């Protein structure tokens, strides 16, 4: 598709124009590549107080307008995942390209379109309601697609330390499944991982009585772990799941009984369980099989849930007014930075464009959904701060 058509789309839409500017920046995690500077300059013109929080090479931005409550925060990330093989893309992933009604670039769906829509929604709201009640904030990080240890979580810690709490937060993750506007995420499962090492005794495979095979020893426990019903879930979450992601043992030789077995596993758990409760249950099972073992635990995210209430209802109403769809509330999918924000905000939801192409080759977003996304965010601000 020619540049003329993209240029026309940019001229016709402020949100498309800002999306394109963000997409041109090679913000491979954790490099922000100037995205925050671009956004901060626009917010400062609106009277936002902008703070930069930099930790271990990660750039984070906290911008706030007003000091009164309620405080409504939009949250997102400007970093993107690697492109994969460039030759497999139909166009340069950092040269936004419009074809067949879609804007193609890395980060188009996840989630620079939402970042742009946040900004234009805020600009339009403030232009019409400069003396609005309450406060508006924007939280951005360049460490959502990476380890997520120096990004949003650090800003949340700083805000919490000074007693600054949010009333409502909308994270711009791509939540739509089949049609734009069909899904709002009102929670996410927690993620608890373990590195289990089962100890045996290495030996010659022809003399098994002189060795202890940790694979054989662990097999009954693995079967029990796989068959265990950890909880039944609840009205918002499916039951907790336990899955093995990797098993490693042996020297590579066919005549050696291994001395250790290493298993990597993960829980995706609901609010019906706790991390400590799951840990205790795993240890109880392993102990019941008499194994000699060690476990290293990693909690990468606690589950969070926003039940139906002011934020879910207000955002749903805005989505319905713009798209004609009544969005489903869902807690499916992986983790998001909402898991950190929930520590300082009682109502956290996620809403954004279609997620079908995220992290894939030829990632894209439908151009005709970009301005409606901004409209939804703006209407939500109006309903929360003007009513």
Chain CA centroid to CA 236, Å? 18
pTM: 0.90
Mean of per-residue pLDDT scores for the chain:
96
Of all residues in the chain, the percent with pLDDT exceeding 90 is 94
φ and ψ at 55, to 5 degrees? -135, 120
| Calpha distance 119→63 (Å, rounded) | 11
Look at residue 1 in the predicted model and tell me its pLDDT. Answer: 41
Query: What does the pLDDT look like over 10-36, one tens digit per residue?
Result: 888 999 999 999 999 999 999 999 999
Query: What does the pLDDT look like over 266-284, one tens digit per residue?
Result: 999 999 999 999 999 999 9
Look at residue 331 in the predicted model and tell me its pLDDT. Answer: 94
**CB neighbour class for 272 (10 Å; exposed up to 12, middle 13-18, buried from 19):** middle
Query: What does the pLDDT look like over 309-328, one tens digit per residue?
Result: 999 999 999 999 999 999 99
| Calpha distance 328→320 (Å, rounded) | 11
Q: Which residues are catalytic?
A: 79, 144
| Calpha distance 84→361 (Å, rounded) | 7
| Calpha distance 122→110 (Å, rounded) | 20
Q: Which residue has the higher pLDDT, 155 or 335?
A: 155
For residue 142, pLDDT beyond 50: yes
Query: What does the pLDDT look like over 226-263, one tens digit per residue?
Result: 999 999 999 999 999 999 999 999 999 999 999 999 99
Average pLDDT of the segment spanning 340-357: 97
Of all residues in the chain, the percent with pLDDT exceeding 70 is 99
For residue 54, pLDDT beyond 60: yes
φ and ψ at 181, to 5 degrees? 100, 0
CB 366 within 8 A of CB 102: yes
Look at residue 27 in the predicted model and tell me its pLDDT. Answer: 98
Query: What does the pLDDT look like over 185-225, one tens digit per residue?
Result: 999 999 999 999 999 999 999 999 999 999 999 999 999 99
Question: At CA 21, angle to CA 16 and CA 24, rounded to 5?
Answer: 120
For residue 338, pLDDT beyond 80: yes
Q: How confident is residue 299, by pLDDT bands cut at 50, 70 and 90?
A: very high
| Rg, the chain, Cα only | 24
Query: What does the pLDDT look like over 117-135, one tens digit per residue?
Result: 999 999 999 999 999 999 9
Look at residue 6 in the predicted model and tell me its pLDDT. Answer: 82
For residue 2, pLDDT beyond 60: no
């Amino acid at each position: 598709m020619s540049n003329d058509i993209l240029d026309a789309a940019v001229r016709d839409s402020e949100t498309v124009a800002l999306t394109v500017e963000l997409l041109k920046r090679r913000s491979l995690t954790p490099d922000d590549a100037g995205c925050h500077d671009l956004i901060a300059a626009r917010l400062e013109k609106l009277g936002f107080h902008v703070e930069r929080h930099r930790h271990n090479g990660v750039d984070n931005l906290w911008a706030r307008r007003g000091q009164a409550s309620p405080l409504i925060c939009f949250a997102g990330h400007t970093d993107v995942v690697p492109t994969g093989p460039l030759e497999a893309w139909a166009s340069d992933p950092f040269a936004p390209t419009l074809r067949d009604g879609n804007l193609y670039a890395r980060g188009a769906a996840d989630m620079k379109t939402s970042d742009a829509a946040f900004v234009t929604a805020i600009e339009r709201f403030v232009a019409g309601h400069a003396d609005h009640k309450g406060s508006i904030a924007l939280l951005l990080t360049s460490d959502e697609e990476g380890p997520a240890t120096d990004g949003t979580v650090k800003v949340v810690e700083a805000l919490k330390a000074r007693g600054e709490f949010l009333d409502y937060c909308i994270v711009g993750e791509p939540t739509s499944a089949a049609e734009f506007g069909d899904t709002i995420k009102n929670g996410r499962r927690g993620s608890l991982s373990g590195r289990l090492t089962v100890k045996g005794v290495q030996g010659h495979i022809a003399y098994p009585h002189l060795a202890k095979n940790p694979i054989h020893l662990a097999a009954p426990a693995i079967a029990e772990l796989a068959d265990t019903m950890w909880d039944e879930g609840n009205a918002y979450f499916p039951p907790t799941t336990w899955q093995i992601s990797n098993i490693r043992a042996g020297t590579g030789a066919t005549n050696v009984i291994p001395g250790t077995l290493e298993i990597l596993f993960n829980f995706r758990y609901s609010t019906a369980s706790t991390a400590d409760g799951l840990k205790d249950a795993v240890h109880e099972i392993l102990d019941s099989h008499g194994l000699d073992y060690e476990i290293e635990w990693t909690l990468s995210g606690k589950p969070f849930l926003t039940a139906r209430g002011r934020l879910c209802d207000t955002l749903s109403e805005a989505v319905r007014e713009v798209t004609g769809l009544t969005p489903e509330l869902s807690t499916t999918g992986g983790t998001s930075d909402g898991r950190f924000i929930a520590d300082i905000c009682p109502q956290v939801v996620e809403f954004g464009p279609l997620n079908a192409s995220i992290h894939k080759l030829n990632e894209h977003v439908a151009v005709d959904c970009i301005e409606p996304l901004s409209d939804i965010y703006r209407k939500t601000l109006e309903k929360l701060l003007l009513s």
